[in-house]
């Protein structure tokens, strides 16, 4: 496939493409077809009020070598779900998609996310997170367990996915939230045009 450079900012990409994708995914979930186990009443909202969903919040503790315990960079330190809830209430956010902050591997971190979602089922939507390099060969089985047994709803990636990740996500029918780290052009490498 020939690569072409997309001249857009991350903000524009997310505002246009992300809004369309998020609207479809949230609508599907709100109708109850987003989970194999049937309708999920936690997506009900007040009649006449639009559902406000924050689709990007890191929660948990970093297990990377040299990680800090200070809440100075919530993608790689500590991100307390109580603080996320407080900020969401202040901003009028109904639900927040949460996923682990940076780790070397994500099995334990994804289990923690599922636990937070069980504590606050009406406020948080949990996404698993995996790394194509450090967890290669294990991702399919981990993801199936995390979606089907732990109740997580999707997958958050910071690195370009491999075929194992894409095949598992397709088979599970889950959305992937891809944080391209300012390299939006990589998106074309794994999404057919």
Exposed/middle/buried for residue 98 (C-beta within 10 Å: 0-12, 13-18, 19+):
buried
pTM recorded for the entire structure: 0.69
Task: Measure Cα distances from 63 to 17, 104, 165, 170, 187 in Å.
Answer: 32, 7, 22, 29, 28
CB atoms within 10 A of CB 160: 15
Domains identified in the chain and CATH numbers: 50-190 (3.20.20.140)
Alpha-carbon Rg of the chain, whole angstroms?
16
47: its two tokens: 């009649």
pLDDT at 127: 97
pLDDT at 45: 59
pLDDT at 81: 87
Q: What is the spatial distance between Cα 20 and Cα 158, in angstroms, rounded to a whole number?
A: 21
Q: Are 57 and 79 in contact (CB under 8 A)?
A: yes
pLDDT at 33: 38
pLDDT at 3: 44
pLDDT by 10-residue block (mean), the chain, 193 residues: 46 47 51 39 64 87 54 55 89 94 90 96 96 94 98 92 92 89 58 52
pLDDT at 48: 74
């Amino acid at each position: 496939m020939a690569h072409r450079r997309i001249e857009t900012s991350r903000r524009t990409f997310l505002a246009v493409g992300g809004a369309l994708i998020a609207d479809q995914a949230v609508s599907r979930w709100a109708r109850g077809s987003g989970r194999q186990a049937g309708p999920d009443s936690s997506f009900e909202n007040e009649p006449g009020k639009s559902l406000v969903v924050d689709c990007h919040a890191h929660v948990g503790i970093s297990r990377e070598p040299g990680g800090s315990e200070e809440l100075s960079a919530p993608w790689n330190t500590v991100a307390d779900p109580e603080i996320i809830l407080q900020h969401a209430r202040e901003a009028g956010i109904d639900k927040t998609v949460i996923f682990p902050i940076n780790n070397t591997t994500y099995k334990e971190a994804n289990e923690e996310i599922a636990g937070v979602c069980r504590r606050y089922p009406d406020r948080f939507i949990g996404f698993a997170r995996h790394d194509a390099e450090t967890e290669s060969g294990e991702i399919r089985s981990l993801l199936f367990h995390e979606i089907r047994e732990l109740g997580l709803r999707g997958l958050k990636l910071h690195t370009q996915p491999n075929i194992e990740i894409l095949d598992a996500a397709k088979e599970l029918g889950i959305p992937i939230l891809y944080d391209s780290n300012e390299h939006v052009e990589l998106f074309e490498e794994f999404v057919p045009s």
